[in-house]
Chains A and B, each alone.
Chain A
Amino acid sequence: MTIKMKTVLSLATVVVLASCASPPTREETMQVVKGSFKDRGIAKLDRLNQSELQQVCSDASLNNKDLPKDVRERLEKQQMTTIRFPADGKFLGDWKAGERVAQTGVGLQWSDNDKTVNGGNCYACHQLSPQEISFGNIGPSLKHYGKLRGNSEAVVKYTWGKIWNTHAYNACSSMPRFGDAGILTEAQIRDVMALLLDPASPVNK
C-alpha cells in the first residue's frame, strides 16, 4: 500500500468516525441544558431537575410512543397518593371567585414574585363559561361540565382529584398539577370546583 493511499484511508477513517459520532445521550443533553439557564427571580435552576414522571413522559413524546402499560399504571397509582381532599369535606366554593381564577394566567414565572396570587389560566386551554369566547383548545371543552355529569360524590371527587393532580388519571397529561405543585390554594380549587359544578355557575347555564 502506498503512503498516499494510507493517508487517504486514514483520512477516510477520521471522516467516518466524525460522521458516525453517536448522537448525544439524554445525560449529555441535560448537562448542556443545565449550563444554558440561570436563576431569575423565583424561577430557579432546580426547576430543570426532572421528576421521574417528567422524564418518562418527555421520553415518550420524544419517541412518539405511548408509555408501556405497566409503567403508566404504576405512575398513575403513585400520583393518586398525592391527592389531598379538603379536610372539612367542603368541595365547592364560590363560582364567581372561580371564574376569576380561571381567567388569570400569572404565577410562578420569573416575571412574577412570591407575593403574586397565582391564577389557574383555565381559559388558556378550555372552554368554560359560554360568555367567554376567548378560550383555547389544548384541553377539552368544559362547557356544561356539571350539567352533563351531575354532582354525585364520585363526580365531585374525580373533579377535585383531576385538578389536584391530573397525572393520577392520565400519566402524561399536559395539564399542570394545580394542587400537587402548589399552583393554586385549596380555597382557589374549591372556587374553580364551584365554577364547574355549581348549577348557578354560567358554565352550567
Chain B
Amino acid sequence: MKRPGLAASLAGCAVAMLATGAQAQGSATDEIAKYRQMLQDGNPAELLIVRGEELWKQKRGPKNASLEQCDIGLGAGVVKGAYAQLPRFFADANQVMDFETRLVHCMVTLQGFDRAQVTKSPFSGAGERPTDIEAITTFVVDQSRGVPVKISQSHSMERASFERGRQLFYMRGGPYDFSCATCHGVDGQRIRLQDLPNISHNKQDAARAFTTWPAYRVSQGALRTMQWRLNDCFRQQRFPEPIFASQGTIDLITFLGVNANGAKMDSPAIKR
C-alpha cells in the first residue's frame, strides 16, 4: 500500500533534480522530507517487535531459560521504560552497560549462551533475516516509546563512561583525520543532502538522534541498532572496526544518551 506513495515521491525527486541551483536543492530537500513523512505510515519494525517478544519469553540456550528474569536496570523482568535509562551502572557486572551489552550479559548468564558465539555476528547482512539481538532490542526499545530518557550520572563509573565517550567523540584519527565531531559538532551541516545532527552542541539534535535509534532502515531493508549506528559511522570515519559491546562503544552511547536526557524515546523509528 505504501509503494505507490514511495514511487511518486521518488519521481518527485527526479523532477526536482532536473532543475538547477540552490532553489532546486531546496525543493529536492523538501521532496526528501515528504518521502520521509510517507515512510512514517507503516514501520516494518513492528513485525520484529513480535518476534523479539517471543524470543524474550522463550526458554532457550544450554540452561533452557527465558530472558524474563533479565534485569535491565529496573529490576528482574521489568521491560517497560527500561531502555530509556540505559546505559547505566550494573553492580552485578561492575560495569556501565548499554542495552545490547546487557542483553548479551543476560543471554550468557541466564541462558548459558557462549559470549563469543552470541557476539560474532550481531548485525544482519543485506537480505538476511534479523539477528536475535536485533529482534529482542526492537521489542525492548518499543516498550520505552514515549518514555523520557533518564540516564544516570550518579555513579562514578557512569561519569567516567560519559567523559571517555566525550573524549572519543572528539578524537581525530585515521587517514582522513576525522572525529565524530567533524560531522556532528556544528549546526546545519549536511553530507550531500543528508542532514547531520549536531550531537555535541545542540540539545534538540542530540535528543532526536538518540531517541530515534534503533530504527528500520528502508534503504537496507533492515532494523539497525545503536551499536550498528556507531559501527557504520566508524567505517565511514575510516577507523578500524569497533568491537561489538566494547567499553568504548558503551562510553560513546553514554555520551549520546546523557545529552538526550529528558527527550522522549521514539523508537523503533523508520529512516531513509
Can you list 20 A-B pairs with a CB-CB distance of less than 8 A? A21-B160, A24-B160, A26-B167, A32-B251, A37-B240, A43-B239, A43-B240, A43-B241, A44-B240, A48-B240, A55-B172, A58-B179, A59-B170, A61-B170, A108-B175, A130-B20, A133-B17, A134-B28, A181-B175, A183-B176
Contact of B243 among A37, A109, A133, A138 (CB under 8 A): A37
Whether B174 contacts A47 by the Cβ 8 Å rule is yes
Whether A136 contacts B170 by the Cβ 8 Å rule is no
Binding site for B on A (CB under 8 A): 18-19, 21, 23-24, 26, 28-29, 32-33, 35-40, 43-45, 47-50, 53-55, 57-59, 61-62, 108-111, 123-125, 130-131, 133-138, 174, 176-177, 181-183
Closest-by-CB residue of B relative to A49 is: B173
Whether B188 contacts A58 by the Cβ 8 Å rule is no
A55 to B167, CA, bound (A): 11
A23 to B164, CA, bound (A): 8
Q: Kindly state whether residue B15 has any CB partner on chain A within 8 Å.
A: no
* Residues of A close to B179: CB separation below 8 A: 58, 61
Question: Which of B159, B188, B241 is most buried by chain A, counting CB atoms within 10 A of its CB?
Answer: B241
Contact of B248 among A37, A49, A61, A138 (CB under 8 A): A37
* Residues of A close to B173: CB separation below 8 A: 47-50, 54
Interface residues of B in 179-227 (CB under 8 A from A): 179, 181-183, 185-186, 188-194
Question: Which of A18, A33, A108, A183 is most buried by chain B, counting CB atoms within 10 A of its CB?
Answer: A33
Closest-by-CB residue of B relative to A21 is: B156
Q: B187 → chain A, closest Cβ, in Å?
A: 11
Q: B40 → chain A, closest Cβ, in Å?
A: 23
Whether B236 contacts A19 by the Cβ 8 Å rule is no
Whether A137 contacts B235 by the Cβ 8 Å rule is no
Q: Kindly state whether residue B109 has any CB partner on chain A within 8 Å.
A: no
Q: Kindly state whether residue B166 has any CB partner on chain A within 8 Å.
A: yes
A43 to B25, CA, bound (A): 35
B interface, size bucket: 35 or more
Whether B177 contacts A130 by the Cβ 8 Å rule is no
Whether A19 contacts B156 by the Cβ 8 Å rule is yes
Whether A124 contacts B192 by the Cβ 8 Å rule is yes
Q: B3 → chain A, closest Cβ, in Å?
A: 24
With A35-B246, A138-B183, A138-B191 known to touch, is A110 a contact of B175 (CB < 8 Å)? no
Contact of A177 among B159, B177, B246 (CB under 8 A): B177
Q: B227 → chain A, closest Cβ, in Å?
A: 12
Top 8 A-B pairs ranked by shortest CB distance? A36-B248, A36-B246, A40-B241, A62-B170, A47-B174, A176-B176, A54-B172, A21-B156
With A58-B171, A133-B17 known to touch, is A47 a contact of B248 (CB < 8 Å)? no
A62 to B201, CA, bound (A): 11
Whether A35 contacts B164 by the Cβ 8 Å rule is no
Q: B141 → chain A, closest Cβ, in Å?
A: 23
Question: Which of B159, B174, B247, B251 is most buried by chain A, counting CB atoms within 10 A of its CB?
Answer: B174
> Residues 82-94 of chain B: 1 if any A CB is under 8 Å from the residue's CB, otherwise 0?
0000000000000
A113 to B236, CA, bound (A): 14
With A36-B242, A136-B189, A138-B189 known to touch, is A110 a contact of B170 (CB < 8 Å)? no
A133 to B16, CA, bound (A): 10
Closest-by-CB residue of B relative to A173 is: B177
Contact of B242 among A23, A37, A123, A134 (CB under 8 A): A37
* Residues of A close to B156: CB separation below 8 A: 18-19, 21
Whether A39 contacts B20 by the Cβ 8 Å rule is no
A111 to B158, CA, bound (A): 33
A107 to B20, CA, bound (A): 29
Whether B192 contacts A33 by the Cβ 8 Å rule is no
